[in-house]
Structure 1
Amino acid sequence: MRIVLSGFLFLSFFNVFAQENTTTEDTPIAKVDSLYREDQFYFAITYNTLVDKPTGLSQNKFSSGFSAGFLRDMPINKNRTIAIAAGFGVTYNNYNQNLIISPTDAGSVYSFIDSDTAYNKNKFSLLSVDVPVEFRWRSSTYESHKFWRIYTGIKFSYLLYDKSIFDGSTGKVAVTGNKDFNKFQYGAYISSGYNTINLYAYYGLNTLFESAEINDESIDMRSLNFGIIFYIL
């Protein structure tokens, strides 16, 4: 009887041990992606200023800008903390200022708003398609997408649509398709921060106007924009 009981207990223990081993062997093993990329959608909100303004030009009210697009990440070191990225996007910028753009048969004419003139709005707006190319440094790892970053590069833009509006007591004047605007624009930018929200700055390397004058002075304004950029994986 003792022999039978001992054999039964041995078989019970063996079955339990076998079940534990089977359970352990069937447990899936989590794999990490050591060849990750930081491909990202981005969205930026900026405050737009003008530099190298002609004498007499001043900005008023808040001038805003919006950008959105996608960047493809291409790491170039083993730890994947340094990379090159290129992408595609769009930008819409507004510039509130005191420069009136008026249409004529010979083209656009430029003048300043008199100080005693009452008006509701005077601005020009630009819609562009963008190709950003940037150099990236970040403290990321394949285990976490929260990291410090410094991204800097060049953004090439092609002007798709422009509109200038003056809305005053004498009525509204609107100009679209102004040939004096520079169709091809490019500038340097930098973004830096932690995780999703980052500081952003852009400086135009060429002028907004290709051929425009006021009071015999060339309008060679450039864009300088500051804001916040959001990166979303």
Structure 2
Amino acid sequence: MQNFFKIIIFLTFLNSFSQDIPNFSEIDSLYREDQFYLNLTYNILRDKSAGISQNSLSSGVNFGFLRDFPINKSRTVSIAPGLGLSFNNYKQNLIIQNGGNTVQYSLIEPNFPYNKNKLTMYFVELPIEFRWRTSTYESHKFWRIYTGLKFSYLLNSRSKFISPTQNFIVNNNPDINKFQYGVYLTSGWNSWNIYAYYGLQDIFKNGNLNNDSLKLNTFNIGLMFYIL
């Protein structure tokens, strides 16, 4: 958590500094809000199979670039496609282990001692934003409401369970959906923006837990930083 707050403070300073530097070039009334972005999230599991629960802080980091295409004369409305990378970490009580030709799933028994149990996933992402803002070509400090659809392709996954008596590691679990998508909303003023992502597809496409289909989805909330 200490590193989390250090990143936030650094980004706020960087973004404010870059926006306050005088621009001695000719003011361009045909400006774009092309931006690098970074968001830090707390990941909440939802639509879970019976018995699954989170037991620690699950975090996410997303970063990339968005290209702005204004669609009205005042340039306060635009569409912005982008490209980025993301890391998502889920700490819960679902044990994932190789079982011959299949992957097996079970739950950590209550009061069972273990050191670590988490699932991490790395994605390349294609966000598409619909943007409304109060910006002008003279100022980059403005209110914004951005909403969009994000498509994600899984590059790598890794689950790890470590206990005093057992260790299970599964890389690139074939039961996880390679393609995932969801909707998101970003709103705020200047550097500080609230971000929320709602997954529309299950994390797992296959898998059984206690003789039922494994179900798991995500809702991520956090802060979004846009860097010019």
**1:5-25 CA distance string (max 9 Å, x none):** xxxxxxxxxxxxxxxxxxxxx
For 1:45, the equivalent position in structure 2 comes to 40
The reply on whether 1:181 has 2:176 as its aligned counterpart is yes
* Structure 1 position 220, deviation (Å): 2.0
**In the alignment, residue 149 of structure 1 is paired with which amino acid?**
R
**In the alignment, residue 109 of structure 2 is paired with which amino acid?**
D
Structure 2 counterpart SS, 1:95: strand
How many Å separate the matches in 1 of 2:64 and 2:26? 30
Q: What is the TM-score when the length of structure 1 is the normalising length? A: 0.86
How many Å separate the matches in 2 of 1:81 and 1:65? 30
* Structure 1 position 30, deviation (Å): 6.7
Identify the match of residue 91 of structure 1 among 86, 92, 114. 86
Sequence identity of aligned pairs in percent?
A: 55
For 2:104, the equivalent position in structure 1 comes to 109
For 2:133, the equivalent position in structure 1 comes to 138
* Structure 1 position 106, deviation (Å): 1.7
For 1:8, the equivalent position in structure 2 comes to none
Dislocated runs of 4+, deviation >4 Å = none
The reply on whether 1:59 has 2:57 as its aligned counterpart is no
Gaps of 5+ in 1: 1-28
* Structure 1 position 44, deviation (Å): 0.5
Structure 2 counterpart SS, 1:140: coil
How many Å separate the matches in 1 of 2:170 and 2:29? 53
How many Å separate the matches in 1 of 2:62 and 2:121? 12
* Structure 1 position 53, deviation (Å): 0.4
Gaps of 5+ in 2: 1-23
Identify the match of residue 80 of structure 1 among 62, 70, 75. 75
* Structure 1 position 131, deviation (Å): 0.2
* Structure 1 position 205, deviation (Å): 0.5
How many residue pairs end up in the alignment? 205
The reply on whether 1:32 has 2:13 as its aligned counterpart is no
Structure 2 counterpart SS, 1:135: strand
Q: Which structure has the greater CA radius of gyration?
A: 1
For 1:218, the equivalent position in structure 2 comes to 213
